[in-house]
């Protein structure tokens, strides 16, 4: 499987979660780093999705990683993406799915280790797939399931072809039905951590009236860009800024508070103990002593006869 990517894998990024010196020898958790501790990842699968996501990548949204995945070897030429993954044979021969979703699914399953490196450690993932072809309808379901397995929150968008594209629209409808039965997507969706939005080209043209076909990718790119900024990046920035402000305020308050020193206690020496007077065991030196012995009469020996 050919893999072309720029930048570092999530596992190779230096962890920025540490500690800073606090007051009184305590440690405080360092602020989270957006783009490192909290990762935002935009992934496009299929040629149409790559055109749309490429317009978003060109805007250089802060903290956003961008990944392009396709079964067409030309994906490696999309330098506007941080990573490019070509789902192809190990032989090095350039090969496409021929429009077959079955082939696209087989290639995606074979590339699962590469996909797991993309999504492991990701916090917010925005997936966009162009349905109707081999990569979008075949590979996208597997990519979505791997993303839901590893990422915290997944927001998926699928682009549905125009009615004039004939069978591709029917293939897209069948792919959308399969997405609802994916194991990891279903689990995330039930917990409110994953959702799927259909971007219907046909409905857009009818709703907007004068929009040209060439303007459709730009319209969907604007939808994606607004979603990424307003639903993920801006709220997380505000949350982390609030946490940092609260932490800084708490540290400042503690630094300004006077240290509570315990008052010194006056040590009062104890009065000297009076000398202990012991009764004399022997008479004082130079004094006369009178010794008297009394012999008991009963203890005398009897007189001789």
Q: So what's the pLDDT on residue 89?
A: 64
> What tens digit of pLDDT does each residue of 143-170 get?
999 999 999 999 999 999 988 888 889 9
pTM as predicted: 0.72
Domain boundaries, the chain: 30-250
Both tokens assigned to 223: 């939808």
Average of per-residue pLDDT across 270-295: 46
Q: Which residue has the higher pLDDT, 51 or 4?
A: 51
Q: Which fold has domain 30-250?
A: Rossmann fold (3.40.50)
> What tens digit of pLDDT does each residue of 232-247 get?
999 998 888 888 778 7
> What tens digit of pLDDT does each residue of 173-229 get?
999 999 989 999 999 999 999 999 999 998 887 887 767 777 899 999 999 999 999
Whose CA is closest to 219, among 195, 199, 233, 197?
Answer: 199
**Is the pLDDT at 93 greater than 80, yes or no?**
no
Burial of 138 (0-12, 13-18, 19+ CB in 10 A): buried
Length of the chain: 305
Buried b (16+ CB within 10 A) or exposed e, 187-201: ebbeeeebebeebbb
């Amino acid at each position: 499987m050919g893999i072309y990517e720029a930048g570092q894998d999530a596992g190779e990024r230096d962890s920025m979660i540490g500690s800073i010196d606090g007051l009184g020898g305590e440690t405080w958790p360092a602020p989270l780093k957006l783009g490192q501790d909290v990762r935002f990842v935009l992934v496009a699968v299929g040629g149409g999705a790559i055109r749309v996501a490429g317009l978003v990548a060109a805007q250089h949204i802060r903290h956003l990683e961008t990944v392009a995945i396709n079964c067409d070897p030309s994906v490696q030429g999309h330098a506007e993406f941080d990573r490019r993954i070509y789902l192809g044979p190990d032989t090095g021969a350039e090969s496409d799915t021929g429009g077959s979703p079955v082939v696209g699914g087989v290639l995606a399953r074979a590339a699962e280790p590469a996909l797991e490196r993309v999504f492991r450690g990701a916090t917010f993932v925005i997936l966009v797939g162009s349905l109707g072809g081999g990569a979008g309808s075949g590979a996208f379901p597997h990519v979505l399931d791997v993303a839901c397995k590893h990422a915290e929150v997944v927001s998926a968008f699928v682009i549905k072809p125009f009615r004039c594209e004939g069978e591709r629209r029917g293939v897209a409808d069948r792919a959308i039905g399969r997405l609802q039965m994916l194991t990891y997507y279903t689990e995330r969706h039930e917990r409110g951590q994953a959702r799927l939005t259909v971007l219907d080209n046909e409905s857009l043209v009818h709703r907007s009236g004068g929009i040209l076909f060439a303007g459709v990718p730009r319209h969907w790119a604007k939808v994606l860009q607004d979603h990424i900024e307003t639903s993920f990046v801006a709220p997380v920035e505000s949350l982390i800024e609030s946490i940092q402000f609260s932490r800084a305020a708490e540290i400042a308050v503690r630094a300004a508070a006077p240290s509570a020193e315990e008052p010194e206690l006056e040590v009062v020496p104890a009065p000297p103990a009076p000398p202990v007077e012991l009764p004399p065991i022997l008479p004082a030196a130079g004094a006369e002593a009178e010794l008297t012995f009394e012999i008991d009469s009963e203890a005398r020996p009897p007189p001789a006869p």
